[in-house]
Structure 1
C-alpha cells in the first residue's frame, strides 16, 4: 500500500487497531495520514509515530529505520 497503513479488523480496547509501516510510506502523504489516524483512534490505546514537517527530515528517519532492519 502506498500509504503504509495495514488495516486490521476491529478489536477490543488496548489491542492494535491498525499498524503503520513507515518503510513503505509515501513521504508526501504521511503527515496528513498520521493526523487522520490519531483523530480516528481517540479514546483507544495506540502507538503514534512522531513525524517531521519537512520531506528531508522524514526521509532521513526512513533511512535510519531501514538501517536498523538490515
Structure 2
C-alpha cells in the first residue's frame, strides 16, 4: 500500500533529493515518488507511516495531512 505525505516546504528539486535520500537511508528497498509541484511524497515500503513522518521531520521538514 502506498503512503502519500504532504510536505509544505517541498518546493525545489534539492529538497526532494534530500527527502528521498533520508527515506532510502532508513528503508533502502522503498519505492519513493516525489511530486515537487504538488508538494507530495509517495512511499511504498514496509515501514509504518509514523516512521516516515518521523524521518522527514527529523530531516527538518514539516509533514501535514
Question: As a proportion of its length, which structure holds more strand?
Answer: 2
Could you tell me the TM-score, scaled by structure 1's length?
A: 0.30
Question: Which structure carries more relative contact order (alpha carbon 8 Å, separation 6+)?
Answer: 2
Could you tell me the TM-score, scaled by structure 2's length?
A: 0.31
